[in-house]
Structure 1
Amino acid sequence: MEPMDIHSWSQPELVRVRHLELDLDVRFDRKILEGSVTLHFDPTTEPQLVLDTRDLEIHSVENAAGFELGARDPILGSPLRIRLSPGAGWVRVRYSTTPAATGLQWLDPPQTAGKRYPFLYSQSQAIHARSWIPLQDSPGVRITFEGRVRVPSGLHAVMAAERAGEHFRMQHPVPSYLIALAAGDLEFRPLGERSGVFAEPALLDAAAREFADTEAMMRAVEEMYGPYRWGRYDLLVLPPSFPFGGMENPCLTFATPTILAGDKSLVSLVAHELAHSWSGNLVTNATWSDFWLNEGFTVYLERRIIEKVYGPAREQMEASLGRRELDREMASLPEADRVLHLNLEARDPDDGCTLVPYEKGALLLRTIEREVGRERFDAFLRSYFDHFAFQSITTADFLDYLRRELPTAIPLEDWIFKPGVPPDAADPHSGAFALVEAAATRWRQGHAIETGHWTTQEWLHFLRVQENPEMARLDRDFHFSQTGNSEILHQWLLMSVRAQYEPAYPALEHFLCTVGRRKFLKPIYTELMKTSEGRERARRIYRHARAGYHHIAQATIDALTA
């Protein structure tokens, strides 16, 4: 029988887990979780339940006739085959994680903002939940869960679920990659009736200021696409080693501190993770080849939220930057990776996390909107979220629904299954960028320019249109090497590596040693590896920085610097 999901050992078509009960102790001294998970399923006469695991120590299985841990696959981990008693409806697995768990990062006090207490956070997407919970680790399997988490005195645990002290409960069925846990020196600040932010005390004030518009974003998306169905929407600011910008864990978005720019110019990330409450968490890709259904829809919704809260000019700039970044990245990808429905046979699903599912997927939806009109497309999206609510679907499911509910002449097969962006794509345009380009020309001619009102997006465009950039003059006039804005600094450091601008090298080394966001790391290390001097510098910095990176970032940079 063909597996439902090529990235899971489990066979949910035979026995499907419906509910999990987690009972865990957080052991910072050993950098492990230990405890149990009770898995509930419909009573069955099937002979076995198969779970996904990776590098777990399985101590016992209760209410079962026996168990066997299979051979380890480098991508999938090991199947845990549990022999079931006739009519069984639950089993309890007692287990512990190992310090090598790919879905957990354990940080020592010096790696945190406060420098006093250790910190733990999980990152389960795509198939890392199996490294800290034995379960059916497939986005096509949705479960409810509850958990009890015990931490050392003085620290606090949070999960992506409703909270009641040390007990947590998720009453809506979610895929395994959305189960999330963090523990550390955390405090909470409300942002509105339904929202708030958790952070280390040193970051809490800045985070609360930066995320002040969260409730306005929630109202904006509800007006367009229906009610928020998850109760609360809180955010957790993680230490800088977090490998992504954000993670859309329901009820509790995990966010990188690199978006705390001080001027709300990078909060499109909050809009993105909030949008996942509809596209991704409510309606989920059934396999990782369908990942664009999560991310393309979410980028489209993110931009609509930005337009509604901050105005069309801001949305146009972000969409234009997104299209240009997509074109740059797609030029470096093999043809097979420039399609929306990606073939991931014998590949880690993390390989599919390029800009293609995000930006090309959003361009497809933008193109459909252009053809049918915004009013009709918004009505379609609202009905889509209602129709598939709390379900995991495939690309074929989406296409069937679209063709039935909103017929279109757009060549959908070309968009989804062929490489590149079709020529009929709706091309975003920003009038503000034309003004930035004119200012860049005046500056190159030696004139002073007014930049006091510029946003992050305008600064990024200003840097990217520089031809043969005068690095020393740019740094002298605009102090890019000292900027506290992570997006602008990343662009500047990338240019500094290309231009071999040595005065920026101290900032480069500090950035690579203190920021773990893969979006920033991969381009800089890639650029460094293009020259012999750069390769030596990259490897030297990485030897020092690697321990502070998450496993996902380590795997990427290991391959680049080998």
Structure 2
Amino acid sequence: MIARLSLFALLVTLAACRTGGDEAAPAASGEAAEQAPLPTDVHSYAKPEEARVTHVALDLDADFDLKELSGMATLTFEAAEGAEEIVLDVRDLTIEGVMDASGDSLAYEVGESDPLLGAPLTVQIPESGETITVRYRTSPEAAAVQWLRPEQTASGQPFLFTQGQAILTRTWVPTQDSPGIRQTYEAEITVPESLTAVMSAEGNGDDPVASGEGARTFGFELDKAVPPYLIALAIGDLEFREIGERTGVWAEPTVVESAASEFVDVDAMMDAAEELYGPYRWGRYDVLVLPASFPFGGMENPLLTFATPTILAGDRSLVSLVAHELAHSWSGNLVTNATWDDFWINEGFTSYFENRIMEEVSGPEYAQMLESLSRTGLDEEITGLDEADQHLRLNLVGRDPDDGMNAIAYDKGALFLRTMEEAAGREAFDAWLRGYFDRHAFQPMTTDRLLADLDANLFKGNPALRDEVNPEAWIDGPGLPANAPRVESAAFARAEAQAEAFASGTAPGELETEGWSTHEWLHFMQSLPGELKPVQLANLDEAFGFSDTGNSEIRFAWLKTAIANEYDPAVPSLELFLTSQGRRKFVLPLFRDLAASEWGKPIADRIYRAARPGYHFITSDSVDDVLGVNA
């Protein structure tokens, strides 16, 4: 066991060093460096202690007629002495052959397939050289790859995008698909000549090369090692608009101008983030606004955040999502959860960091509203979770890692950091967090390693501080510990007063709502009585236009209120909302609420039949479970 872990630690260090120069941070020292070895990733077949992928080179053609990516992946690896095979993760890939660097065939075997994990691809290690090349093609139903028809896009052109988190990269790239196995990558992607390819790498916007009749090839490279879920590709009718010297936005032509206007504060967010926790280490920071079926609000792919168009509210009121994805450039992309049991290390840190960015950019009151909304959502979600799923550190053996993508990871994790900040003082906590990112840059992280770092640094010599924080209660205990802070928002107190006035009979038009932000509207609706009469709902909608608003967050909150009160006049707005975007944050709760009542079940079934073909697998798979659909 000791020799096995030592080899793994060596390989991790080598991978970090591949980032080159002063980009590679020193390993953690002292006590933290000696504790907490990396655990086995139960969601990967890889055996990195025997042979570990360090670099991926893709050469792929995108066929929109067949809905397949086909070509080669050349993998560079490091192997232990005497190792005879390397094990990769694949799911729904057709493997056409595996070769060594000379083009000679290598023996390989695709093992038994699991519906969640896919199958192991075991390849004979060549007698010489450190690369293998896998020739393959993807399935049209590859879970990570969504092929959009022209009618599903704003431009009327076909579109492709990938979404690898958590364990879906194996459906389009044969590699070791574990967040603890960081890899550099390069790619040549051949697409129809009318379309543009972009990736989470350097090369976006560079001149493509003609590749035969009707096609062109785009080249990309990322020389900083990342977990494989961050390898991302999009292909479509795309244009670019510059925001600042190192920031910009990609989107379809009819969307790109509004997106650039919406994201004008990105440079200020970058400045705030760097001032807080150190330099941005990835070069550029661009945002790609995807078609509406993208299942997440945003995905923190390095250099190129993938974002939902549902944040384009027209008033820049929802751009805290960009602050969240930007913060991932430190927490998640730079320091990554080693396995999905510790997903909170990505999202809890990022949610805390996001709030600090927004405090710097938009002021303390704005940040207080964001934090208060998160706490309300967390309190609600905890009531519906098993106690074991209320821990920050999870046990996801035999389960989909997506089960851990909830408010516990995001908001309980952020509250834990807020608790440490309040106990240690902001200055001391910020110094620790900045040092944490430097000590562990480009490395995987576990909860045990994090605790060791806290003991070696933030808590060192101060047992009273550790006792006050009580990290074990946060990490391995259910619910929220007694020391969980609760932020009070003066703006929300005013919104609550207006909700009380409405409940007492004040007409909506007489409420004091002028100048309200999105967050005040959301809190207002959260503060309304649970049961509302049809006339009250009609008056609210007439006064404030909730059913027709282009602000997705406000419309979502309104539709949840309407469903809870079985309000038929809101059903057309509900149907349009569910069939025009596929963001799981909105789609899943609305279908879940509909399915909970006899009134809503037939509405859910009817709408889902129309909406499901346009959803990404991540969204449809979740809703299938709620509605009992057998795809």
Separation in 2, partners of 1:93, 1:430: 56
Match of 2:58 in 1: 22
- Do the aligned residues in 2 keep the contact of 1:45 with 1:88 (CA within 8 Å)? no
Matched residue type, 1:549: Y
Match of 2:374 in 1: 322
Match of 2:238 in 1: 186
Match of 1:9 in 2: 45
Separation in 2, partners of 1:273, 1:429: 25
Separation in 1, partners of 2:184, 2:593: 44
- Is residue 533 of structure 1 aligned with residue 533 of structure 2? no
Separation in 2, partners of 1:252, 1:50: 30
CA deviation profile, 1:300-355 (whole Å, cap 9, x unmatched): 00000000000011100010000000111111111111110011010011111111
Matched residue type, 2:520: E
Match of 2:210 in 1: none
Shift of 1:45: 3.6
Match of 2:565 in 1: 499
Match of 1:72 in 2: 113
CA deviation profile, 1:75-103 (whole Å, cap 9, x unmatched): 11011010123344110001000111001
2:322 aligned to which of 244, 266, 270 = 270
- Do the aligned residues in 2 keep the contact of 1:46 with 1:86 (CA within 8 Å)? no
1:421 aligned to which of 480, 485, 504 = 480
- Is residue 151 of structure 1 aligned with residue 191 of structure 2? yes
- Is residue 486 of structure 1 aligned with residue 552 of structure 2? yes
Match of 2:500 in 1: 441
Matched residue SS, 1:29: coil
Shift of 1:517: 0.6
Separation in 1, partners of 2:71, 2:514: 55
Separation in 2, partners of 1:327, 1:178: 30
Matched residue SS, 1:198: strand
Match of 1:371 in 2: 423
Matched residue SS, 1:149: strand
- Is residue 46 of structure 1 aligned with residue 83 of structure 2? yes
Match of 1:129 in 2: 169
CA deviation profile, 1:236-282 (whole Å, cap 9, x unmatched): 00011111100000000000000000111100100000000000000
Shift of 1:531: 1.6
Shift of 1:450: 2.9
Matched residue type, 1:496: A
- Do the aligned residues in 1 keep the contact of 2:273 with 2:327 (CA within 8 Å)? yes
- Do the aligned residues in 1 keep the contact of 2:566 with 2:599 (CA within 8 Å)? no
Shift of 1:59: 0.5
- Do the aligned residues in 2 keep the contact of 1:47 with 1:86 (CA within 8 Å)? no
- Is residue 347 of structure 1 aligned with residue 399 of structure 2? yes
Separation in 2, partners of 1:287, 1:442: 49
Matched residue type, 2:149: D
Shift of 1:186: 0.2
Matched residue type, 2:566: Q
Match of 2:436 in 1: 384
Matched residue SS, 1:500: coil
Higher relative contact order (CA 8 A, sep 6+): 2
Matched residue type, 1:252: L
Shift of 1:419: 0.8
Match of 1:524 in 2: 590
Match of 1:119 in 2: 159
Deviates more, 1:214-223 or 1:404-413: 404-413
> How many residues of Structure 1 are paired with residues of Structure 2 in the alignment?
561
Match of 1:61 in 2: 98
1:216 aligned to which of 242, 254, 268 = 268
TM-score by length of 2: 0.88
Q: 1:476 to 1:65 in 2, by over 3 A?
A: closer
Separation in 2, partners of 1:180, 1:248: 10
Shift of 1:452: 2.4
Structure 2: runs of 5 or more not aligned: 5-38, 208-217, 460-465
CA deviation profile, 1:497-539 (whole Å, cap 9, x unmatched): 1111111110001111111011101111111111223111101
Match of 2:69 in 1: 33
Match of 1:81 in 2: 122
Match of 1:471 in 2: 537
Matched residue SS, 1:488: helix
Q: 1:230 to 1:99 in 2, by over 3 A?
A: same
Separation in 2, partners of 1:145, 1:323: 39
- Do the aligned residues in 2 keep the contact of 1:45 with 1:86 (CA within 8 Å)? no
Match of 2:255 in 1: 203
Separation in 2, partners of 1:74, 1:29: 26
Match of 1:296 in 2: 348
Match of 2:180 in 1: 140
TM-score by length of 1: 0.98
Matched residue type, 1:491: A
Structural RMSD (CA): 1.2
CA deviation profile, 1:15-39 (whole Å, cap 9, x unmatched): 0111111001111011110010000
Structure 1: runs of 5 or more not aligned: none
Where in structure 2 are the equivalents of 1:275-286 lying within 5 Å? 275-286=327-338
Shift of 1:393: 1.1
Shift of 1:72: 0.5
Separation in 1, partners of 2:506, 2:404: 44
Match of 2:521 in 1: 459
Separation in 2, partners of 1:283, 1:531: 43
Deviates more, 1:366-375 or 1:437-446: 437-446
Matched residue type, 1:551: F
Match of 2:490 in 1: 431
Separation in 1, partners of 2:591, 2:482: 33
Matched residue SS, 2:244: coil
